[in-house]
Amino acid sequence: NAGVTQTPKFRVLKTGQSMTLLCAQDMNHEYMYWYRQDPGMGLRLIHYSVGEGTTAKGEVPDGYNVSRLKKQNFLLGLESAAPSQTSVYFCASGTGITEAFFGQGTRLTVV
Amino acid sequence: DAKTTQPPSMDCAEGRAANLPCNHSTISGNEYVYWYRQIHSQGPQYIIHGLKNNETNEMASLIITEDRKSSTLILPHATLRDTAVYYCIVRGSIYNQGGKLIFGQGTELSVKP
């Protein structure tokens, strides 16, 4: 049982490049979430999804897009990366009423 | 989204109980209190959650005041491996908030020998 798997684990991008972060869960969870964490800060919610085909904005959605085409996958896209998006990105999944499970993070650096 | 207030840091002696306070004075009646911790920038780890009654599991105990405006996480016998940032979270309703977990700054707990 893999739980929540994030791909890739590390990435360096140049300003203006695009990329997609993949979050996959094998627990049949309806709810999935994307967070970012900057140094010394708590996690901030970017976007979330309450089921396949749905997405909603969180606290800091600007500069990101998401898609939930399959229940087990939640994709986070950066269309034109900026240095301000350098961060650690965490994905989580859950039932919405019990604990959410987090992945191990993707460390993204934009130069 | 209900906000929480936690002390930024706390120390605890190894083997002693660690009591981590949290204020959540704007919590709504159907919102749960969750506690997570994060060790060395790993993914957050679930500890415990509750609505109005005190809760206990193999990791910790959660004491929620009767008015639900504050709570305390208790690690009964802290070890060095409990050194982490502890987050108290009021979880949004699944009916209109997607069950969101909104993190604050947390409390950095240092367990010392």
The tens digit of pLDDT for each residue in B62-103 reads 999 999 999 999 999 999 999 999 999 998 877 777 788 989
Confidence class for position B1, pLDDT limits 50, 70, 90: low
From chain B, pick out residues whose CB is under 8 angstroms from the CB of A45: 100-103
pLDDT value for A1: 57
pLDDT value for B98: 78
The tens digit of pLDDT for each residue in B32-68 reads 999 999 998 899 999 999 999 899 999 999 999 999 9
Q: Would you tell me how many other CB atoms lie within 10 Å of the CB of residue A67?
A: 15
Contact A104 B42 (CB under 8 A): yes
**Are the CB atoms for A77 and A13 separated by under 8 Å?**
no
Contact A45 B102 (CB under 8 A): yes
**How close A84 gets to chain B, by Cα (Å)?**
19
**Summary mean pLDDT of chain B:** 93
Position A98 pLDDT exceeds 90: no
Position A57 pLDDT exceeds 90: yes
Contacts of A109 (CB under 8 A, 6+ apart): A11, A12, A13, A86
**How close A97 gets to chain B, by Cα (Å)?**
7
Contact B42 A105 (CB under 8 A): yes
CA–CA separation, B100 and B62 (whole Å): 20
Instruction: Residue B19: name the closest of B63, B66, B65, B83 by CA.
Output: B63
Contacts of B23 (CB under 8 A, 6+ apart): B4, B5, B6, B69, B70
pLDDT value for B51: 93
